[in-house]
Amino acid sequence: MDSYRRRLALLVFACALFLAGCAGRGAAPPPAGHGFEGHPGMPLVVTARSQIGTPYAYGGYSPDQGFDCSGFVWWVHAQNGLDVPRTAHELWAGGRFVPPGERQPGDVAVFRTGGKPKDLHVGIVTERGTIVHSPKTGAVVREEPMTIPYWSSRYLGSKRFHPEFSSALEAQADFVPAPDAP
């Protein structure tokens, strides 16, 4: 019986520890649309989400072909009347650099995915702090948190291409990292 009580006490302690860890994680992201109704980047997010489930295709830039990451970002912008570069490297070199902590829905998040300067990946930032992107061969367009270790450890920065609120960054555009920055 003594062994049973010890195991029960250990189980209760483990559950309490687990629940305490969950309580310390901070607030959950806001629900869809919370505080971002009418935001100039939301049409890009809505367009991006409309393609969730579309297959990845290297070099692809349409729903019929499938998308690679930059083809997806290019298509989303084109559907909203915006002309942006076609490759991830050109996307990183273009647009307005978004200072850390100022990401907005519709911004383009850029990640370093390999050792070469052009080994980049891009996706559309959402109001939830997630990205919608076309990740890799065999996968489909999906939405996932930028905070997962794979993406957070590879995050280079974000770029802004939608003009409605790009001009507000002109005064803050002192630092624009080179496209081949590590």
- The catalytic residue positions are 69, 121, 133
72 near 134, Cβ under 8 Å? yes
